[in-house]
Amino acid sequence: MDKLHLVKIGGNIIEQPVVLSSFLRDFADLKGPKILVHGGGKEATEFAKKLNIPVEMIDGRRITDQTNLELITMVYAGKLNKSIVAQLQAFSCNALGLSGTDANAYQSKKRAIGEIDYGFVGDLQLVNTAFFMELLSQNIIPICCAVSHDGQGQLLNINADSVASGIAQALASRYDVTLSYCFEKKGVLENIEDELSVIPQINYEKYQELKAKGIIAQGMLPKLQNCFEALDQGVKEIRIGGPELLSKRSFYTKIHK
């Protein structure tokens, strides 16, 4: 099977032009089929401030009313996505920006109202595998943002980590998928105060141990949970690291079964 690199970058990287540009050059240099998924939550939050739009987060998830949904669509699918695509085009990478509604690339289901009403937030339901494979076969590189739709005309805010993991899983039977999460740290840290205390490898047993010790907590919990689900669904390798993860010199945390 061909190798496929599926890379996710977070908002902290995107908002720093120099770091982003260096990351995008590394991404452009990756050989073979590849897909980029990007977040952008921080930028959306800052933009909301400018517009005096209240932002409410619960457990790191944005409560998404109509106004916040429009804002997110503008920032993620508009400003960030097109800026990333334009930069990649300049690096001779034939990038194509996507939201989940474009060619129904990734469809989601509005989250049911339970104790919390998240508003226009969706959970990934369906990945258009054939469409992604068709693009990749033409050397067109999909650049996916965290906006999806329900197939009934409603756009939905969706978690970028889940989009990356979901696409990786959907393509795992067609490619040897390496899923890389690039964020502001150099990996999963043993000691959150020490930037260099990167844990080189985590398997499921070690994950349980680190969780019990409280070393893995908060935002890292769902991220790692996602990783083990993806491994169960056939994704070959998962890496968590910094913006320089795609360059050969970098170290990172490898997640494996």
- The contact mask relative to a copy of itself for 172-201 (x = CB under 8 A, - = no) is ------------------------------
Which of 45, 89, 125, 197 is the binder for a copy of itself (CB under 8 A)?
89
Query: Which helix (H) or strand (E) segment is 211 a member of?
Result: helix 204-212
For strand 34-38 and strand 141-145, is the pairing parallel, antiparallel, or unpaired? parallel
Sheet containing strand 3-9, edge to edge, reads 95-98, 141-145, 34-38, 3-9, 176-182, 237-241, 253-255, 201-202
User: Using CA atoms, how far apart are residues 164 and 157, in angstroms rounded to an integer?
Assistant: 14
Which of 55, 78, 129, 247 is the binder for a copy of itself (CB under 8 A)?
78
152 binds a copy of itself (CB under 8 A): yes
Which of 113, 153, 193, 249 is the binder for a copy of itself (CB under 8 A)?
153
Total binding residues toward a copy of itself, as defined by CB under 8 A: 37
157 binds a copy of itself (CB under 8 A): no
36 binds a copy of itself (CB under 8 A): no
Sequence-separated (6 or more) residues with CB below 8 Å from residue 146: 37, 38, 39, 40, 72, 76, 157, 158, 159, 160, 163
How many Å separate Cα 79 from the centre of its chain?
Answer: 17
CB of 1 to a copy of itself, least distance (A): 24
CB of 163 to a copy of itself, least distance (A): 15
104 binds a copy of itself (CB under 8 A): yes
Structure tokens at 25: 């050059």
Which of 147, 188, 202, 255 is the binder for a copy of itself (CB under 8 A)?
147
138 binds a copy of itself (CB under 8 A): yes
Cross-strand pairs, 178? 5, 237
103 binds a copy of itself (CB under 8 A): yes
214 binds a copy of itself (CB under 8 A): no
Point out which span in 71-79, 160-168, 178-186, 190-198 binds a copy of itself (CB under 8 A). Answer: 71-79
Residue placing its CB nearer to a copy of itself in the complex, 76 or 252: 76
46 binds a copy of itself (CB under 8 A): no
Strand ranges (E), 43-146: 56-58, 61-63, 95-98, 106-110, 122-127, 141-145
Which stretches of the chain bind a copy of itself, using CB under 8 A? 50-51, 70, 73-79, 81-83, 85-87, 89-90, 94-97, 99, 101-104, 134, 138, 140, 147, 149, 151-155
